[in-house]
Structure 1
């Protein structure tokens, strides 16, 4: 299940051809401008990547170059590298994700939205957290949440102090009550089962994107297991497995949770 911050919600900026979500930690960004926030993590290739057509070596090189430039806060140069990688490998989704995220850091939200919409067309079931990015940017465009909310959330994800993270997330839910990722993050880090269930219900009521909905329902099943309501948890997981619209990563995790011994705690 996707976790927040210390539980590795996202992948660090890393080499473009890794298929695992455990790359080595990147070097600290060295952007000279003190006001530039560190870039948020980038996704690794999806697990199905080895079955896809081979990615041209030049595209891999351009993409790796772009990520190094992004680490240093050189967003203009990184964008050029990602765009060139996309030209060389137009069906490879990862550079398109990076293009959207780079535009987001450049505060060109309209272009970021366009990139994530293109990614949604290319890979309807998403890459990493692309569905959440797209949904959040659409909510900003529609005026449901204030402009820049997603960017602020990405900054919160880079914080190390759990107490500060908690306070910032709570403030974000008050500032932007229709912003799903903040409610989701609070739900996934809640200590008490009752509080976790309340926050999950709140997030689900906001009609999140499909991947986020799946993650929330997985966590709901985990909380049911903590209550020792095993049959209810089993039904929840089976419903996810049987849902033809659920992304493969959600279905896979639901199967793993369903197959786990009942004595195992989430």
Structure 2
């Protein structure tokens, strides 16, 4: 599974750097037996998004301070630090991402939605999971899924026990059948071929955000390769590459999969 719960530590970036989007990895965070979380990766800009020529040192310092405060559960203090970092570097979108995430921790979903909508205009291709968060908050506001479903999912996503996480995800799909991230997480983790294809089709039928849709179609291509249908997989990947609306990170993954050598027959 991908994405985040607790505010991670700051990623060291120097002036003029171009941070690359990394493949999503499972992050670790509190479960029933763990008090502190290990910080997950910092959301980064898509490689085609222009980076600010220089992030002021004061903004970097304030942002790092906010991350540490968030990790300690001091969300009110973290919010203030992120807002100050945003004021010091208005063109740097990562503090804006963290402002929205902090509002989620403070259970102020309305403000979180406002911030992620603003972020979506600043970075049209999104930061890490920002589009998924935005889509989920919009579904909650529209009454398509129960309030607080996103926060519950983020907690489930941090569990260290895969079996417990799987049980909780299945429960979420019953409680909130139109909540896409739970279906997506199950689809990405399914080991059986038929089950994976069924879950991908279910998640796609719910009309997910463009980033999630791309992730699901990459998964479908991978499953087609496992079925020894390389031409169908190639067409799926090429369609992703040719889609002008697809986020650059999805296109890059599709190109990488397309260029990968075929596995030898079993």
Q: Within the alignment, does 1:13 sit opposite 2:8 as a pair?
A: yes
Deviation (angstroms), 1:44: 3.3
5 Å matches for 1:115-264? 115-263=115-263
Give per-residue Cα distances to partners, 1:222-258, cap 9 Å, x unaligned: 0000111000000000000000000000000000000
Partner of 1:43: 42
CA, structure 1 residues 261+27, in 2 after alignment: closer, same or farther (shift >3 Å)?
Answer: closer
Give per-residue Cα distances to partners, 1:43-87, cap 9 Å, x unaligned: 332253784321111111100000000000000000000000001
Matches of 1:175 and 1:27, distance apart in 2: 24
Matches of 2:214 and 2:190, distance apart in 1: 18
Aligned residues: 251
CA, structure 1 residues 40+152, in 2 after alignment: closer, same or farther (shift >3 Å)?
Answer: farther
Contact 2:58/2:85 (CA < 8 Å) preserved in 1? yes
Q: Within the alignment, does 1:101 sit opposite 2:101 as a pair?
A: yes
Partner of 2:77: 77
CA, structure 1 residues 45+17, in 2 after alignment: closer, same or farther (shift >3 Å)?
Answer: farther
Query: What TM-score, normalized to structure 1?
Result: 0.87
Contact 1:140/1:147 (CA < 8 Å) preserved in 2? yes
Give per-residue Cα distances to partners, 1:157-182, cap 9 Å, x unaligned: 11111110000000000000000000
User: Which ranges in structure 1 are unaligned for 5 or more consecutive residues?
Assistant: none
Partner of 2:61: 61
Matches of 2:113 and 2:168, distance apart in 1: 25
Deviation (angstroms), 1:149: 0.2
Partner of 2:86: 86
CA, structure 1 residues 13+203, in 2 after alignment: closer, same or farther (shift >3 Å)?
Answer: same
Higher relative contact order (CA 8 A, sep 6+): 2
User: Which ranges in structure 2 are unaligned for 5 or more consecutive residues?
Assistant: 14-18
Secondary structure of the corresponding residue to residue 207 of structure 1: coil
Contact 1:66/1:79 (CA < 8 Å) preserved in 2? yes
Where does structure 1 differ by over 6 angstroms across 4 or more consecutive aligned residues?
26-29
Secondary structure of the corresponding residue to residue 214 of structure 1: helix
Matches of 2:80 and 2:241, distance apart in 1: 40
